Amino acid sequence: MELPLPSTFHSQLSGDRLETISTWLIEEWYATEEDLVRDTDNNYTRGCTTFMRQRVRIMKEAQGGKYSWLGMSSTGNDLVFTIDGIPCRYSNDDATNPSKDAVTTANRHQASFLDFDNVVGPTRFCFVIDRGVEGIGDPHVEFLGYTAAGTLTTRWVSSTVRVFQTVGDQPLVQAVPVDKPVVAPKRRDVDAANDGNVARRQS
């Protein structure tokens, strides 16, 4: 069943803002996968590193001040950030069957936003980085919203794709035509004179 978008309930949760945060989460996921390729790395080391890099990325973006709508409620490992005052979390999980606390349980920094009288509107939100069936596909992000009682009532799915580009977008250098060198046979009289000079110097 297709659920309404988060902006239906809270205009602050616009698609462009959700896409911006999703891009950060995806970028850190790919960067970690590319960096941790030693035989001493495994899914656990990559998972921990991915989570911490994503956490630090969100914190740095909030501290940078570029996005006035992005704030912080908690900077601990159980990071809670806000989108125009709405508390949100993130998790690397299965969006269709989440099991991690960041998705299934309200953090104490989210408690003030919960509304148990609202049985329809979502009041608890989480970005979920999902790798698809069996966790082997390319990641995408889903932003899920739950009522205070834990009912999923809104979903947004990212359109973020990985883009490869040349560093600095340098233009291709145009080829410069070069004429072939002209090779001519040696003159016999010049060769003979040179041989005579060499013989005199050696005698």
At 161-194, the pLDDT tens digits run 554 443 445 454 454 555 555 555 555 555 555 5
pTM for the whole structure = 0.77
Q: Is the C-alpha dihedral spanning 93, 117, 81, 26 positive or negative?
A: positive
At 148-158, the pLDDT tens digits run 999 999 999 99
Is 112 a member of any domain? yes
- Give the model's pLDDT for residue 118: 83
State both tokens at 41: 């790395």
Q: Report the amino acid identity of residue 136.
A: I
Is 182 a member of any domain? no
Is 150 a member of any domain? yes
Contacts of 33 (CB under 8 A, 6+ apart): 46, 50
**Comparing 39 with 159, which gets the higher pLDDT?**
39
Which helix (H) or strand (E) segment holds residue 72: the answer is: strand 70-74
Q: Is the C-alpha dihedral spanning 36, 39, 40, 43 positive or negative?
A: positive
- Give the model's pLDDT for residue 159: 86
- What is the number of domains present in the chain? 1
Is 180 a member of any domain? no
pLDDT category at 112 given cuts 50, 70, 90 is confident
- Give the model's pLDDT for residue 173: 44
Shortest CA distance to 95 belongs to which of 163, 156, 53, 169? 156
- What is the domain extent for residue 15? 6-157
Helices (H), the chain: 15-35, 43-64, 101-104, 188-202
Is 187 a member of any domain? no
- Give the model's pLDDT for residue 145: 97
How distant, in Å, are the alpha carbons of 73, 79, 100, 111, 145 from that of 76?
Answer: 9, 5, 17, 16, 22
At 117-147, the pLDDT tens digits run 888 899 999 999 998 766 567 899 999 999 9
Over residues 55-82, the mean pLDDT reads 96
Is 76 a member of any domain? yes
Is 189 a member of any domain? no
% of the chain with per-residue pLDDT over 90: 67
Is 64 a member of any domain? yes
% of the chain with per-residue pLDDT over 70: 76
Long-range contacts, stretch 67-70, CB < 8 angstroms, 24+ apart: 67/17, 67/20, 69/12, 69/17, 70/21
- Give the model's pLDDT for residue 110: 92
